[in-house]
Chains A and B, each alone.
Chain A
Amino acid sequence: MDSVTHQDPATAHAQGEEHAHPTWSTYWKVAVILTLITAFEVWVYYIPAFVASRWFVPVLLAMSAIKFAIVVLFYMHLRYDHRLFRTLFTGPLILAMTTLMALMFLFGHLHLGRA
């Protein structure tokens, strides 16, 4: 069943709907970057001095966030897709992350700095 409200491509494009997906070479480059980041994460895991430093957790979280973003933007095409899809994904994600942070504070795993 077709809906009468189907937009023509020009209108859809103007409103930020789907654009062309990345090329094969982009997909391969993304895979190489993901592999290198994963190798880096595992490498630092085996460096005791780095594990003991205060940079260990932030660096791993940053690497993980970069991988997460790359897959979502390029493989899930969110960079090229309609903004409604971005909203449907980032809205619940932000809500979930906020809840996670709140629970971590509530159960004493995170602490606010004291004056």
Chain B
Amino acid sequence: MSATTSHHYTSTGLDNRKIAIWAFIGSECMLFMSLISTYLIYKGRSLVGPFPHEAWTDPSTGHVFKPILNIPVTSFSTFVLLMSSLAMVLALAAVENRNVPKRTLGDRILGSSKLWLFVTALLGTTFLGCQAYEFTSFVHEGLTLQTNLFGSSFFTLTGFHGAHVTAGVIWLVTLLMIDFKRGLGQDDVLNLDIAALYWHFVDVVWIAIFTLVYLIR
């Protein structure tokens, strides 16, 4: 197949770039697990509020802090990130099936890599917007990186994840620009596959964070 002629194969017969992205994802698993471990170890050990799930009254001022996590907003952003993964696989499928004839409007929509790459980047940006809103509201409510153990571990964990989403959005926009400039073809399937793997990994990390940080009290 022409798509494979320019690729770098290893002694396993597998493309070295795909092995590299899986090795990278494996190392990222350990990075995020260390951050999640830190969050869980410090959970419930903050001496002062605000707290994630419980109200807290500051003894010096009498100010009452509500539970700080906003589950409706985070549930929405979780849904957005899950749907971005759907858009990403549809973008990859569109490039893989570029040469398949598109007879109906539905076929043309499903087969548009530009559309699905744009939707993926848009949903990723929406997720980042939700995170920016969440961080801003937390700071306004008195929770910063220095406030307590919860603030330190929470902002570090979710901030690292947000940085990964940002890198993913930049990657997707780059691919979208290439698609507009010359079109993504069979030779680009592997490049898109690697980007998709990274994007889905960011998604699965959020699946873990959403449950462990936001839902479990």
Contact = CB atoms under 8 A, between A and B. Distances in A.
Interface of A: 1-3, 5-7, 11-12, 15, 17, 21, 24, 27-28, 30-31, 34-35, 38, 41-42, 45, 51, 56-57, 60-61, 63-64, 67-68, 71-72, 75-76, 82, 84-85, 88-89, 91-93, 95-97, 99-100, 103-104, 107, 109
Contact of B90 (A24, A88, A97): A24
Nearest to B197: A76
A72 B36 CA distance: 19
B13 A15 contact: yes
A17 B13 contact: yes
Contact of B211 (A64, A89, A104): A64
B215 A104 contact: no
A7 to B, nearest CB: 3
Given A38-B75, A104-B37, 14 more contacts: A3-B11, A5-B11, A30-B86, A31-B86, A41-B211, A45-B71, A45-B215, A56-B216, A60-B216, A67-B204, A67-B207, A85-B22, A88-B19, A88-B22
A95 B8 CA distance: 29
B85 interface: yes
Contacts of A17: 13-14
6 contacts: A3-B8, A38-B210, A64-B211, A89-B29, A92-B27, A93-B29
Contact of B29 (A6, A7, A92): A92
B13 A5 contact: yes
A27 B4 contact: no
Interface in B164-216: 196-197, 200-201, 203-204, 207-208, 210-212, 215-216
Contacts of A31: 82-83, 85-86
B9 interface: yes
Contacts of A75: 85-86, 88-89, 196, 200, 203
A95 B204 CA distance: 17
A46 to B, nearest CB: 8
A1 B10 CA distance: 11
Contacts of B197: 76
Contacts of B36: 100
B25 to A, nearest CB: 6
Contact of B9 (A3, A28, A68): A3
B129 interface: no
Of all A-B residue pairs in the complex, the 8 with the closest CB atoms, nearest first, are A7-B13, A96-B33, A92-B26, A64-B211, A88-B22, A6-B9, A31-B86, A3-B9
B207 A64 contact: yes
